[in-house]
Amino acid sequence: MQSAGDFSVKITNTLTVDVWRQSAAQAQGRFVTYDVTGVSPETTVLELLDLLNAQLPEGEAPVKFDDGCREGNCGKCGVMVDGVAHGPEYNKASCQQHVRAFRNGDRVQLEPLRAQSFPVLADLTVDKKKALRTVVKAARGPAGMKALTNAGCISCGACVAACPNGSGQLFVGSLLTELPPLMKDDDERRERTAQVISTADETFGPCSTLGDCTEVCPAGLPLENLSAVAREHLRNQGKTRHT
């Protein structure tokens, strides 16, 4: 697997693209190879998919992917590029990733965000909302969503896909960093943070503090946010001073 950030400016014209094709959630998927022409170093990953769809053989169904703002704000667009969530440039959503890392004739692999908690729906689209929302809803009421907004998280799910364990610790830790000030008292904080932590444990894999999540997070959320999970957990056990 290539690391995020490993890229340089190259002249690109034609790329050979291996794309994950899967007609439906229960269908068998496989990589299908296409040559895509007219690619420039400034072409983004989503524009590469636009070009690919425009050049498909007649009668072939367009490659499905999650499209959105194309400005790095909505969190919808993530795909894996050569095994890296969002793509090779650090901390950029797929819609903001350019293909300048590749030279004319290179081969690039595009597949859906891979995580046990994100089932593939079709081609490059996954259901990441269900897992992420389950954890946010555990905070009950609008506080969970507000905490994520305050943290700057765009709920793209890349941290989960980047983690070899499928951990959502950067997402959960960012939520828990901002949740406490929104609670009316200590009892509410204890109850809601405990609910978020246990729901996250059921939904995602364990965190091994590898840090791959911070390399791909388009919001640039820091590794320190992971510590909010342990802090709230220990606090709920009465093992730390109240902070």
Size of the site for ligand SF4 (CB under 6 A): 14
Indicate which of ligand FES, ligand SF4, none lies near residue 70 (CB less than 5 to 8 Å, by partner kind): ligand FES
Which residues, at least 6 apart from 187, have a Cβ–Cβ distance to it below 8 Å?
Answer: none
The residue range among 34-42, 101-109, 212-220, 233-241 that interacts with ligand SF4, by the rule CB under 6 A, is 212-220
Where in the chain does DSSP place strands (E)? 15-21, 30-36, 79-81, 84-85, 107-112, 120-122, 125-126
Indicate which of ligand SF4, ligand FES, none lies near residue 90 (CB less than 5 to 8 Å, by partner kind): none
Out of 84, 221, 226, 229, which residue is the one contacting ligand SF4 (CB under 6 A)? 221
Out of 15, 99, 131, 153, which residue is the one contacting ligand SF4 (CB under 6 A)? 153
Q: Is 239 left (phi over 0), alpha (psi -120 to 50) or beta?
A: alpha
Indicate which of ligand FES, ligand SF4, none lies near residue 138 (CB less than 5 to 8 Å, by partner kind): none
Rounded (5°) CA angle 111-54-217: 35
Q: Under the criterion CB under 6 A, does residue 169 sit at the interface with ligand SF4?
A: no
* Token couple for 62: 């367009």
Q: Under the criterion CB under 6 A, does residue 156 sit at the interface with ligand SF4?
A: yes
Indicate which of ligand SF4, ligand FES, none lies near residue 77 (CB less than 5 to 8 Å, by partner kind): ligand FES
Size of the site for ligand FES (CB under 6 A): 12
- Of residues 95, 110, 97, 82, the one with CA closest to residue 19: 110
At its nearest, how many Å lie between ligand FES and the CB of residue 157?
11
Do the beta carbons of residue 108 and residue 81 sit within 8 Å? Answer: yes
Query: What's the rounded Cα separation, in Å, for the pair 101 and 103?
Result: 7
Rounded (5°) CA angle 112-113-114: 100
Query: What's the rounded Cα separation, in Å, for the pair 87 and 131?
Result: 22
Q: Under the criterion CB under 6 A, does residue 70 sit at the interface with ligand FES?
A: yes
Out of 84, 217, 228, 229, which residue is the one contacting ligand SF4 (CB under 6 A)? 217
Over the window 71 to 100, marking each residue x when it contacts ligand FES by CB under 6 A and - when it does not, the resulting string is: -xxxxxx---------------xxx-----
At its nearest, how many Å lie between ligand SF4 and the CB of residue 41?
25
Q: Which residues pair with 122 in a beta bridge?
A: 125
Q: Under the criterion CB under 6 A, does residue 126 sit at the interface with ligand FES?
A: no
Residues that bind ligand FES (CB under 6 A): 68-70, 72-77, 93-95
